[in-house]
């Protein structure tokens, strides 16, 4: 008579639960936007970064002209392009994005996350 083989199953290991990815704020990229925000704030109050290049208009029209001038270097008032002003507006943004990418490559942001630092990364 043949005996039945008894199959014994091991207890399955429980699935590991991973924490959900949370929203984090990249400090370097946001830090690059600070000079642009300051130019917009000056434009709102009617002050200008370069009085001979951009006319001072108060309110949201001034914000648009100042931010546009800082990013593109083109002055609507004088109809000229000023590359040095464009570099002043874009350089901090590009440097901040580059620093953020470098921190990702070096693993600094991963170390911050494993250390439990909330909401922040470089």
* Spans of all domains in the chain: 25-121
The predicted-structure confidence for 14-72, as pLDDT tens digits, reads as follows: 777 776 777 888 899 899 999 999 988 988 888 876 667 777 778 888 888 889 989 99
pLDDT digits (tens, 9 = 90+) for 80-91: 999 998 999 999
More confident residue, 53 or 75: 75
Per-residue pLDDT at 96 exceeds 90: yes
d(CA 94, CA 78): 27
């Amino acid at each position: 008579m043949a005996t039945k083989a008894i199959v014994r199953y091991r207890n399955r290991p429980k699935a590991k639960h991973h924490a959900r990815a949370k929203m984090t704020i990249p400090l370097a990229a946001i830090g690059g936007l600070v000079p642009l925000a300051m130019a917009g704030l000056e434009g709102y109050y009617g002050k200008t970064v370069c009085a001979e290049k951009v006319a001072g208009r108060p309110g949201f029209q001034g914000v648009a002209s100042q931010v546009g001038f800082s990013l593109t270097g083109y002055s609507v008032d004088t109809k000229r392009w000023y590359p040095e002003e464009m570099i002043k507006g874009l350089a901090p943004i590009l440097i901040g994005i580059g620093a953020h990418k470098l921190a990702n490559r070096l693993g600094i942001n991963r170390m911050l996350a494993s250390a439990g630092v909330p909401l922040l990364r470089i």
